[in-house]
Amino acid sequence: MNLIFLGPPGAGKGTQAKVLEEKFGYRQISTGDILRRHVAEGTPLGVEAKGYMSRGDLVPDELILRMMDGELEQSSDVILDGFPRNVAQATALDELLARKKRNAVAVLFDVDRDVLTDRLTGRWTHPGSGRTYHAKNNPPKVPEIDDVTGEPLVQRPDDAEETVKNRLAVYDEQTAPLIAYYDDPGDSRLARVDALAPIEKVSRQLIDFVRSHPNGAA
Ligand code: AP5
C-alpha cells in the first residue's frame, strides 16, 4: 500500500515518513527534498524552482510532474510526502497509479494552525538526509549537529515567518481541497491522524494504521 501524506507545512509529514521508512521499509519520496537537492546542485530544474520555493509558492505542475515521472517505477511501497499538492497533481497521480495497477491511501495530518509557525521557525534540518529536529520539541543531542552523521544542521530559508505565512495561505487555497478529493463519501481513500499529539504518539497512530490495514505492512 502506498501512502500519501497530506497536511499543512509543519504538520510533521517528513518527521513521520522517516519513522515509517525505518519501521516498515517504505521509500519516502519528498518532493520538497528532491527540489532542494536540485536547487543546491544548480540543475536547470533547480534554477527554475528556486524563486517559487523561496516565496513559498508552488512550483509549476509541469515541472513537478516531469520530476515525478519514474519515481513510481520501482516496486517498493512509497510514502508520497508533499505530492500531490493540488487537484491537477492528484488527478495526474491517480492516472499514473491506475496505469501501474497500484493504489494509495491518503493520510491527513490533523493539526491546529497555531502550532505550525513555532514548529517551522524552530526546525533544524540535516540537508543530506532530510532528517529534521526541533529546537524544543525534538532537539538533537548536540545543538545544531545531526545525531547520525555529526554534520551541521541548517535552517530552511522558507521557514522564515513571512514565508511561512504565504506557505500556509497556499496550502489553504490549493492543497486543502485535496481533503474532499480523497474523502469522497462513496469511496473514501482518506485516513486521519491527530498530528497535534507528541511525535511518538503520532508515530504510534501511524504504525497501528499500517498494521491494521489489509495491505498494510510494506
Ligand atoms: P516541502 O518541503 O514539501 O514543505 P512542506 O509541505 O511545507 O512541509 P514541511 O517540510 O515544511 O513540513 P512537514 O509536515 O514535513 O513537517 P516536519 O516533519 O519537518 O515543500 C517546500 C516547497 O517545495 C514548497 O513550498 C513548494 O515551493 C515546493 N514543492 C514541494 N512539493 C511540491 C509540489 N508537489 N508541487 C509544487 N511545489 C512543491 O516537522 C516540522 C517541525 O515540527 C520539525 O522541527 C519537527 O521536529 C517538529 N514536529 C514534527 N512533528 C511534531 C509533533 N507531533 N509535535 C511537536 N513538534 C513536531
Q: What is the pLDDT of residues 25-68, one digit of tens each?
A: 999 999 999 999 999 999 999 999 999 999 999 999 999 999 98
Is 192 among the catalytic positions? no
- Closest Cα to atom 19 of ligand 1: 14
In a domain, 22, yes or no: yes
Q: What is the CATH number of the domain that holds 6?
A: 3.40.50.300
pTM above 0.85?
Answer: yes
> Is the Cβ atom of 18 under 6 angstroms away from ligand 1?
no
143 domain-assigned? no
In a domain, 13, yes or no: yes
For residues 86 and 215, which has the higher predicted lDDT (pLDDT)? 86
* Res. 218: pLDDT tops 80: no
Domain hosting 7: range is: 2-26+77-111+169-212
- Please tell me which residue in 37, 50, 55, 156 is annotated as part of the active site: 156
Q: Is residue 92 part of a domain?
A: yes
**Cβ atoms of 200 and 15 closer than 8 Å:** no
Q: Establish if 205 belongs to a structural domain.
A: yes
For residues 18-42, one letter each, b for 16 or more C-beta atoms within 10 angstroms of the residue's C-beta and e for the rest, the string is: bbbeeebebebbbbbbbbbbbbeee
Cα–Cα distance for residue pair 182/175, rounded to 1 Å: 12
Does residue 95 sit within a domain? yes
- Distance from the CA of 5 to the center of ligand 1, in angstroms? 10
CB of 14 within 6 A of ligand 1: the answer is yes
The answer to whether the CB of 35 is under 6 A from ligand 1 is yes
Per-residue confidence (pLDDT) for residue 72, from 0 to 100: 80
Q: Is residue 189 part of a domain?
A: yes
Domains held by the chain: number: 1
Residue-wise pLDDT for 7-16, tens only, equals 999 999 999 9
Considering the chain, what percentage of its residues have pLDDT values greater than 70?
99
Give the distance (Å) from ligand 1 centre to CA of residue 188: 24
Q: Is position 116 within any domain? A: no
Residue minimizing CA distance to atom 48 of ligand 1:
12
Q: Average the pLDDT over 72-88 and give the result.
A: 91
Query: Mutate which of 137, 154, 155, 165 to test ligand 1's pocket (most atoms within 8 Å of Cβ)?
Result: 137
| Dist CA 148 CA 90 (whole Å) | 35
DSSP reduced 3-state for 217: coil
- What is the C-alpha to C-alpha distance for residues 55 and 57, in angstroms, rounded to an integer? 6
